[in-house]
Structure 1
Amino acid sequence: MILGKCPYCNANVISKKITARGKNIKVYSCENAKKQYDESEIYVFTSDSTCRFRVYSNTFLKWNKKSFSELEMKKLLKDGQTIVRLHGKKGSSEYFKYVIPHKEYGVSILWEEEIETL
């Protein structure tokens, strides 16, 4: 499924279901960000990859957000940012933060920006 245009090379960003460490997740990837297993069984970008934009749906697990949805990714690609709801360590507190594209990590949380509770 095509979600929008890559913020770096303007190619299509697509959604794919994959299994990583025994869990079914989605990866949102630029069509020009191709990966494969190398001879040492490490998943690496291919020599013909011209972009590295990739975001895994479980990228915010550290902040108790189970999944970064396709809808959130579409908004990020369309508007250049989106708002996500994160949770404290015990899951009791919640807070909202802006997420923007990041060349190296796929996405980045703007920790300094305050957002009123929605």
Structure 2
Amino acid sequence: MILGTCPYCKGNVISKKITAQGKKIKLYTCENSKKEYDESDSYVFTADSTCRFRVYSNVFLKWNKRSFSENEMKRLLKDEQVVIRLHGRKGTKEYFKYAIPHEEYGVSILWDEEVEED
């Protein structure tokens, strides 16, 4: 499924279901970002890979956000930012932050920016 246009190479960003570390997750990846296992069993970009934009749906698990949804990814690609809901360590406090595309990490949280309420 095509979610939008890559912010870096203008290729299509697609959604794939994969299994990583025994868990089923979604991978949002530019069609020009290709990875494979090399001879040392490292997961590396292929020689014909021209882009590095990849985001795993569990990217915000560290902040108690279970999944980064396809709708959130579509908004990120369309608006170049998306508001995400994160939770405190104990899961009781919730807060909102902007997430933006990041060339190396796929997505980055703007910790110093406050989300404006509509």
Give TM-score, length-normalised by structure 1.
Answer: 0.97
Report the CA distance between 1:51 and its aligned residue: 0.2
Report the CA distance between 1:117 and its aligned residue: 6.2
What is the aligned length? 118
Report the CA distance between 1:98 and its aligned residue: 0.3
**1:106 and 2:103 matched:** no
Q: Give me the whole-angstrom Cα distance separating, in 2, the residues matched to 1:95 and 1:5.
A: 28
Report the CA distance between 1:42 and its aligned residue: 1.1
Q: Are the equivalent residues in 2 in contact too, given 1:15–1:29 (CA < 8 A)?
A: yes
Report the CA distance between 1:40 and its aligned residue: 1.1
**1:28 and 2:28 matched:** yes
- 1:65 — aligned with what? 65
- 1:5 — aligned with what? 5
Show structure 1 runs of 4+ deviating over 3 A: none
Q: Deviations over 1:43-95 (max 9, x none)?
A: 11001100000000000000000000000000000000000000000000000
Q: Give me the whole-angstrom Cα distance separating, in 2, the residues matched to 1:15 and 1:116.
A: 29
Q: Give me the whole-angstrom Cα distance separating, in 1, the residues matched to 2:26 and 2:41.
A: 21
> Percent identity at matched positions?
75
Q: Give me the whole-angstrom Cα distance separating, in 2, the residues matched to 1:65 and 1:111.
A: 15
Q: For structure 1, which runs of at least 5 residues remain unmatched after alignment?
A: none
Q: Give me the whole-angstrom Cα distance separating, in 2, the residues matched to 1:69 and 1:48.
A: 28
Q: Which amino acid aligns with 2:115?
A: I
C-alpha RMSD of matched pairs (Å): 1.0
Give TM-score, length-normalised by structure 2.
Answer: 0.97
Q: Give me the whole-angstrom Cα distance separating, in 2, the residues matched to 1:99 and 1:116.
A: 13
Report the CA distance between 1:112 and its aligned residue: 0.6
